[in-house]
């Protein structure tokens, strides 16, 4: 049983409650090594990709998009290395992306042939602006690109029966495309692939550029989920980007609206403002009592690996993982947190104010929670003296001593570490 519970715990409306909630995790797909990688200033070397891949496996990802092999020799060689050196665990499926062009499809299938399980991910752009401005093509010509690509993938994978092949189709720029056309093209593709309830096909519906409020995207997903042909043979996937800063909300609402699967990157790497952040999504589920099936119990080592491979820092205020998210400077917050920790019983529901999650669940420590600067009251410094030095200060002394610490913090304008607080304490009370 989880020590977390879903919010809100009050009834908001007279309708059936809760109106909607995510009660089981979606299928997760990491596109760190593809969408994430293609957006890096310096794309990852094969060594970094392998390190990242192994970390994703460790976390529990079962679907990993490993590259765009027809677009990059590094990616092609990396996929071959994974296959030939048997680096892919039996329960992990690799995904290889391709545009819908014959020679690119051939190279993509060749890259993954021999893997135990692989998904060919075919995409073409379908939105009016692409049809008009980029390709100068009609709806039917765009549909023809998708269906002829699907036909070729089907023929080619049949030549490699040693691999268990899956198929994913993305109508790129879905969220800015007319819904009837998105349905038409996805139905045309699935009519060729012929998925079954036991051998489903993935239909991935991206907000390639996020351009609406999350409820609109969710409505689009719901419409597709209700209208697509062969729905029981499809896995509906979402791939939200973060251009409006609402990718996490978009993914959560989309799952409530019928999506089965989410594609994203750790800490929200990816094109422009990034893909949806899988860490935040997973931990949001965890803190409402639904285990995400991904293991972030040592978040610092995951973060270190991602920062080193991507050469991008994780923001100090990044949900769940930033340096400052289990920290309180303000006196009233510190006091409430301190009381919460003191009363929290092992295994009981989590009831520490201001902290949505037990830092220990992410491998972070309680000690880092309380920090002291000029905004802090007596509680923080008393807590640190007790935790670090076993010094329990009576309340009157706390009030008096906090003035001495605040004077130092005000004068320096900096944070005051536990050692410095102890030095001030010694100076004030033992060295006179
Ligand atoms: O954002 C997007 O539409 C994509 C597709 C190629 C899946 O990355
Ligand atoms: Zn993308």
Average of per-residue pLDDT across 204-215: 97
CA gyration radius, the chain: 26
Ligand-binding site membership of 423 (annotated): no
The structure tokens 């689009």 sit at 220
What is the position in ligand 1's atom list of the atom closest to the CA of 263?
A: 7
Q: What does DSSP assign to residue 7? A: S
> With 80 as the cut, is the pLDDT of residue 316 above it?
yes
Kindly report the pTM of this predicted structure: 0.90
Per the annotation, does 239 bind a ligand?
A: yes
Distance in Å, CA 271 to ligand 1 centroid: 9
List pLDDT tens digits, range 274-303: 999 999 999 999 999 999 999 999 999 999
Please give all residues whose beta carbon lies within 6 A of any atom in ligand 1, as ranges. Answer: 35, 123, 170, 172, 204, 206, 208, 239, 241
Q: Give, using CA atoms, the residue closest to atom 1 of ligand 1.
A: 208
Backbone angles phi, psi at 65, to 5 degrees: -80, 115
Atom of ligand 1 nearest to the CA of 35: 8
Q: What integer is the mean pLDDT of 412-428?
A: 94
Expressed in angstroms and rounded, the spacing between residue 206 Cα and the centre of ligand 1 is 6
Asked if residue 63 has pLDDT above 60, the reply is: yes
Give pLDDT, residue 432: 63
Q: For residue 376, what pLDDT is reported?
A: 85
Encode 258-296: b = buried (16+ Cβ within 10 Å), e = exposed. Answer: bbbbbbbbbbbbbbeebbbbbbbbbbbbbbbbbebbbeb
pLDDT tens sequence across 350-370 = 999 999 999 999 999 755 567
- Averaged pLDDT, 332-359: 92
- Buried b / exposed e across 144-155, counting CB within 10 Å, b at 16+? bbbbebbebbee
Mean pLDDT, the chain, whole residue set: 94
> Tens of pLDDT along 9-45?
666 666 555 568 899 999 999 999 999 999 999 999 9
Spell out where 174-303 has E strands.
Answer: 201-207, 234-240, 261-264
Determine what percent of the chain is predicted with pLDDT higher than 90: 87
Q: Any residues with CB less than 8 A from the CB of 411 and at least 6 apart, and which?
A: none
Residue 12 has what pLDDT? 61
pLDDT at 194: 98
Kindly report which listed range (153-157, 193-197, 229-233, 410-414) carries the lowest average pLDDT score: 410-414
**Cβ atoms 311, 41 nearer than 8 A:** yes
Q: Tens of pLDDT along 143-164?
A: 999 999 999 999 999 999 999 9
Quote the pLDDT of residue 13. Answer: 61
Question: pLDDT by residue (tens digit) across 95-110?
Answer: 999 999 999 999 999 9
Query: Which pLDDT band holds residue 243 (cuts at 50, 70, 90)?
Result: very high
Question: Nearest Cα to 142, choosing from 132, 155, 152, 156?
Answer: 132
The beta-strand segments (E) located in 153-260 are: 164-172, 201-207, 234-240
Print burial letters for 386-414: b (CB count within 10 Å at least 16), e (below 16): ebeeeeebeeebbeebbebbbebbeeeee
The answer on pLDDT for 411 being more than 60 is yes
Share of the chain above pLDDT 70, in %: 96
Distance CA 359, CA 323 (A): 12
Q: Convert the pLDDT of each residue in 3-14 to its tens digit.
A: 887 776 666 666
SS3 content of the chain, % helix, strand, coil (to 5): 45, 15, 40
């Amino acid at each position: 049983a989880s020590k977390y519970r879903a919010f809100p715990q009050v009834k908001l409306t007279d309708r059936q409650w809760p109106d909607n909630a995510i009660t089981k995790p979606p299928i997760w797909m990491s596109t760190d090594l593809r969408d994430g990688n293609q957006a890096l200033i310096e794309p990852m070397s094969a060594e970094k990709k392998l390190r990242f891949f192994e970390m994703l496996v460790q976390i529990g990802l079962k679907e990993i998009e490993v590259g765009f092999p027809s677009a990059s020799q590094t990616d092609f060689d990396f996929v071959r290395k994974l296959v030939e050196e048997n680096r892919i665990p039996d329960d992990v499926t690799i995904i290889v992306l391709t545009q819908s062009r014959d020679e690119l499809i051939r190279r993509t299938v060749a890259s993954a042939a021999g893997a135990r399980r692989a998904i060919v991910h075919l995409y073409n752009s379908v939105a009016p602006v692409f049809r008009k401005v980029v390709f100068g093509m009609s709806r039917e010509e765009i549909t023809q690109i998708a269906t002829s690509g699907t036909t070729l993938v089907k023929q080619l994978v049949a030549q490699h029966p040693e691999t268990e092949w899956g198929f994913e189709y993305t109508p790129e720029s879905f969220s800015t495309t007319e819904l009837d056309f998105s349905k038409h093209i996805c139905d045309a593709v699935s009519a060729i692939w012929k998925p079954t309830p036991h051998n489903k096909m993935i239909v991935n519906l991206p907000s390639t550029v996020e351009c609406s409020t999350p409820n609109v995207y969710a409505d689009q997903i719901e419409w597709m989920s209700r209208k697509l042909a062969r729905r029981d043979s499809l896995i509906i996937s979402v791939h939200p980007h973060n251009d409006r800063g609402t990718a996490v909300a978009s993914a959560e609402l989309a799952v409530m609206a019928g999506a089965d699967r989410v594609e994203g990157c750790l800490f929200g790497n990816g094109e422009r403002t990034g893909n949806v952040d899988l860490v935040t999504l997973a931990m949001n589920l965890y803190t409402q009592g639904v285990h995400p099936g991904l293991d972030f119990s040592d978040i610092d080592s995951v973060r270190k690996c991602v920062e080193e491979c991507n050469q991008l820092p994780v923001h100090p205020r990044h949900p769940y993982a930033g340096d400052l998210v289990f920290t309180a400077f303000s006196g009233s917050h510190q006091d409430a947190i301190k009381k919460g920790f003191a009363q929290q019983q092992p295994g009981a529901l989590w009831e520490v104010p201001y902290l949505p999650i037990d830092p220990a669940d992410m491998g972070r420590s309680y000690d880092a929670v309380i920090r002291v600067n000029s905004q802090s009251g007596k509680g923080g410094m008393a807590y640190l003296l007790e935790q670090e030095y076993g010094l329990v200060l009576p309340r009157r002394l706390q009030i008096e001593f906090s003035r001495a610490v605040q004077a130092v913090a005000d004068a320096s304008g900096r944070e005051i570490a536990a050692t410095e607080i102890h030095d001030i304490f010694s100076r004030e009370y033992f060295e006179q």
